Structure 1
């Protein structure tokens, strides 16, 4: 939760008028993370001063998988429950273990066409083989867009560039994408 790029993105979203709720899950267990996401969503529904619409879930690395799993589950309940998913550095497979990509991409493939997904991935990410990732995208029903950060690692760092300049680029892409989707969704 306190990764510099997550804090930076939250500030960029909030500065542009988007309610952004961040929280962390101590464990790596995917089911636990989805349960925590659900608890947060249920809590937000109880707050009378907020109307939940144009909901986007997002995460970084394993948090992407949890966000996609929750979006799929909520979409099973109601077609308009989630508008989009933001995936920063989706972990398609552990480094060198590309055979595991089928299991890690199940929830993505099950997202309905009513959900849009933005992937932000580095071209040098050892946990997201580009060719395998493109195959996953072909199997998805959801509308997808991929922002490839040139030279970016799984941590969204780029040799020769400051972290702030990289995050400014990523934040701008995410912000413009959300704005485009919320205009189209209304």
Structure 2
């Protein structure tokens, strides 16, 4: 794998700044991924670092950021600020970007895509959405689904979820996916819980499976764009 550089930046958000890190590939493709964490943790959550490193080693720029706060509207606003920042960046001129997040971060990403698609000046900068452990419902509260944003999205969506995720029952996600207008794919990590832990399986091994799935899906979608 080729190396990459890590560049720390502060992204303006209202009257403060969000901490963020670019994983910059040596050989650049013209596409990037923005990554953020769930309700707990930050941009240095091991799964995000692992995915960013993996993607950068294959030529995809990765920007991961920290946004504390458990209010989904606030997280969505922060995510939007990061998208704008990358779009206007002179250092990294990209043809398009994929929004990605873990758990609550993927809800924020979905919400951003829905909001931007409702804007009149919508362009093709956002190419797709990657949801890692999308929290479709609260544990044991399957009657209230958080699917509104997903049903509005038109760009390609990848879900990577554990088949034993207590916040995303398998049949329920498959039901939502069948109603979505967007091209979508679900990759189930066998017996993984919401934190992607699998009994009797090394964490690195699970991360390798997730990273490879995300990269091959990104590559398919980038290639489709250029046929």
Matched-pair contact (CA < 8 Å) for 1:74–1:81: no
Q: Unaligned stretches of 5+ in structure 1?
A: none
Preserved CA contact (<8 Å) 1:119 1:146: yes
1:99 is paired with a residue of what secondary structure?
A: coil
Q: Which of residues 152, 159, 163 in structure 2 aligns to 1:110?
A: 152
Deviations 1:117-160 (A, max 9, x none): 00000011011111111111111111100000001110011111
Instruction: Kindly report the root-mean-square deviation, in angstroms, between the aligned alpha carbons of the 2 structures.
Output: 1.2
Larger radius of gyration: 2
* Partner Cα distance (2:106, 2:83) in 1: 16
Structure 1 residue aligned with 2:4: none
Which shows bigger deviation, 36-45 or 120-129? 36-45
Using a 3 Å threshold, how does the CA distance of structure 1 residues 42 and 79 change in structure 2: closer, same or farther?
closer
Question: Which structure dedicates a bigger proportion of its chain to strand?
Answer: 2
What number of residue pairs does the alignment pair up?
Answer: 182
Q: Which residue of 2 aligns with 1:93?
A: 137
Question: SS of the counterpart of 2:220?
Answer: helix
The answer as to 2:208 corresponding to 1:164 is no
Runs of 5+ consecutive residues of structure 2 not aligned to the other structure: 1-42
**Given the two structures, how large is their TM-score scaled by the length of structure 2?**
0.77
Structure 1-normalised TM-score?
Answer: 0.94
Q: Name the residue aligned to 1:26.
A: 68
Q: 1:132 aligns with which of 153, 172, 184?
A: 172
Tell me the distance in 2 between the aligned counterparts of 1:20 and 1:65. Answer: 19
- Shift in Å at residue 79 of structure 1? 4.9
CA distance in 1, matches of 2:61, 2:104: 22
Q: 1:155 aligns with which of 179, 191, 195?
A: 195
SS at match of 1:59: strand
Q: Is the 8 A contact 1:120 1:170 kept in 2?
A: yes
State the partner residue of 1:11.
53
Larger helix proportion of the pair: 1
8 Å contact 1:89–1:120 — kept in the other structure? yes
**Counterparts of 2:90 and 2:172, CA distance in 1:** 44
Where in structure 1 do 4 or more consecutive aligned residues deviate above 3 Å?
none
**Matching residue within 80, 84, 92 for 2:128:** 84
Structure with the larger RCO, 1 or 2 (CA within 8 Å, 6+ apart): 1
Corresponding residue of 2:17: none
| Rounded Cα–Cα distance in structure 1 between residues aligned with 2:96 and 2:220 | 11
- TM-aligned CA deviation for residue 75 of structure 1: 2.1
Contact 1:54 1:182 in 2 (8 A): no
Give how far 1:50 is off: 2.3
Aligned-partner Cα distance in 1 for 2:113–2:225: 16
